[in-house]
Amino acid sequence: MIKAIIIDDEKHCIVTLNHLLAQLDNIEVVAVTQDSTQAKKLIEEYQPNLVFLDIEMPNGNAFDLLDKLMPINFEIIFITAFENYSLKAFK
């Protein structure tokens, strides 16, 4: 079973992604948050295999969060409406 966390400041995005993931048998969403500060605590607590991560959020962005979590021991799927972050996300 893949443990996943969804981090996005837009509630409707969390609801939609959570609904889609609920249809899969091998992914369990163990936590969701709209707050990047709480995200760090949830990742440390739940030790997920996969994090769905919005790039631009209040109180910092995804890259700030990831810098605080180094080394990264989980897979990341970036979710964003900002195409200018795509190159940085791939790196």
CA pair distance 32, 29, nearest whole angstrom: 8
| DSSP 8-state secondary structure symbol assigned to residue 9 | S
Residue 21 CA to residue 16 CA, distance in Å, equals 9
CA torsion 28-63-90-75 (nearest 10°) is -20
| pTM of structure | 0.86
Q: What is the pLDDT of residues 7-30, one digit of tens each?
A: 999 999 999 999 999 999 999 999
In sequence order, the 6+-apart residues with CB closer than 8 A to the CB of 44 are 69
Mean pLDDT, rounded, for 60-82: 87
